[in-house]
Chains A and B, each alone.
Chain A
């Protein structure tokens, strides 16, 4: 489904990604963990072309999306992303937030987009919030709407960048529930997270990043119980409650 090969990215003199390689299979859930500043967000932004990679390449199925001749807007329609905060458009209602992409970028008919949005809102328990504006929602509700908005584009791949980090601990659960449900539906997900317990529960594989490199990759049980790299062990020791 997705393959990144020796991806490099610098901001000025600062090399943030130093040759990242990563493969994600169809329907797989991969969690990126690692210290703050290790390059998780930058990698996710490179994967859906919000940042241009300097070297290396990224493949989505049979297409090399890092080829400069590729239509980046078309690629982004296939890859959803949800950020830590400021996802929703504050001047649009929940419903308009969700239907804007399908209508404007996918050319879906308005009534179809609206109907689909209602179905999705129903599923995340926000049916009655369709007319509300983002400012009137709790942080957890906002992130659930952001997830719905990404899903409404019917992406092949979903990228999540610490989408619960800015939330009150009380509200984290309701957002994680939605991710569990997406996984059950077979959605392919790459997510950066600090929720170690959740990462262990939900992922097929864990990718531990350090200093712009993949330090270790493995199934969650192995990573959490028998990390091969001392840096992984050290990181986990600090981040386990």
Chain B
């Protein structure tokens, strides 16, 4: 069927309006950012600030070292993210399962969540990084890498467990009943019906925690891991320049942007879905 003249007319108007909107948004962004940039650049202290923080040559000189150190950050957060999900899921599930046989595990899970959510991540890093090797226990990891991963996992696992638990509890009870009514076991209902919905629902806050985790890999510099921040710091205290720190900052920012955009996308999508758009 060919669209009517009226429909074509409307579509043309809508197109024109969305073009106008786009143009206004682009123009106002450019103007605002331009004014901010001008104010900063023309301020009296700008030359000195630029020389210390935004020096091109210093940046290029620091780039290789910081970049290769940042590979360590990437390895740290990728490994930690997997372990955090495992720990978070396990703790969340232990806390929601009604089985009395799990009572001791439940107590441990509650204590774990309370303690590790309440302790600053930096403290956990220091305690694990220096405390665990001092215990001289056999079987405990001694490499700084794994100590760092363990510290971050302990800290973030507690957050993620609570997020996942909230997701599980938000699923309508009739979903449980419908699963059990089909003869599925508790475990099957959890795995095939409740968890998939819960994880989807909490994906945005979960990814948000991961964004935060990626930055917190920098805390591991305190136990001697030469990651990006530490590498930048070494150069900057050797040469008395601050630009390497800015370079490190850029790496952290760039690494979190994909996750941040993905989080936005998921949030918008779940809003759309719930509103039936």
Contacts and interface: CB of A to CB of B under 8 A. Distances in A.
A50 B192 contact: no
B52 interface: no
Nearest to A50: B177
B172 A91 contact: no
A87 interface: yes
Nearest to A49: B180
Give the size range of A's interface with the partner: 20 to 34
Interface in A28-63: 45, 48, 50
B178 A153 contact: no
Interface stretch (A72-80, A204-212, A227-235): A72-80
Contacts of A90: 197
Of listed B174, B178, B182, B273, residue having the most chain A CB within 10 A:
B182
Given A104-B188, A105-B188, A135-B273, A87 B174 contact: yes
B183 A105 contact: yes
Nearest to B197: A91
Contacts of B273: 135
Nearest to A45: B177
Contacts of B188: 104-105
Interface string B164-197: 0000000010110111111111001000110011
Main SS class of interface, B: helix
B5 to A, nearest CB: 32
A87 B178 contact: yes
Interface in A77-128: 77, 79-81, 83, 85-91, 100-101, 104-106
A89 B184 contact: no
A9 interface: no
Interface in B258-277: 273, 276
B16 interface: no
B14 interface: no
A101 B182 contact: yes
A164 to B, nearest CB: 16
Contact of B182 (A74, A85, A100): A100
Interface of B: 172, 174-175, 177-185, 188, 192-193, 196-197, 200, 273, 276
10 contacts: A50-B180, A50-B181, A77-B183, A89-B197, A90-B197, A100-B182, A104-B188, A105-B184, A149-B182, A153-B182
Given A83-B177, A85-B174, A91-B200, 16 more contacts: A73-B180, A73-B183, A79-B181, A81-B181, A83-B174, A86-B175, A86-B178, A87-B178, A88-B178, A89-B178, A101-B183, A101-B184, A104-B182, A104-B188, A105-B188, A150-B181
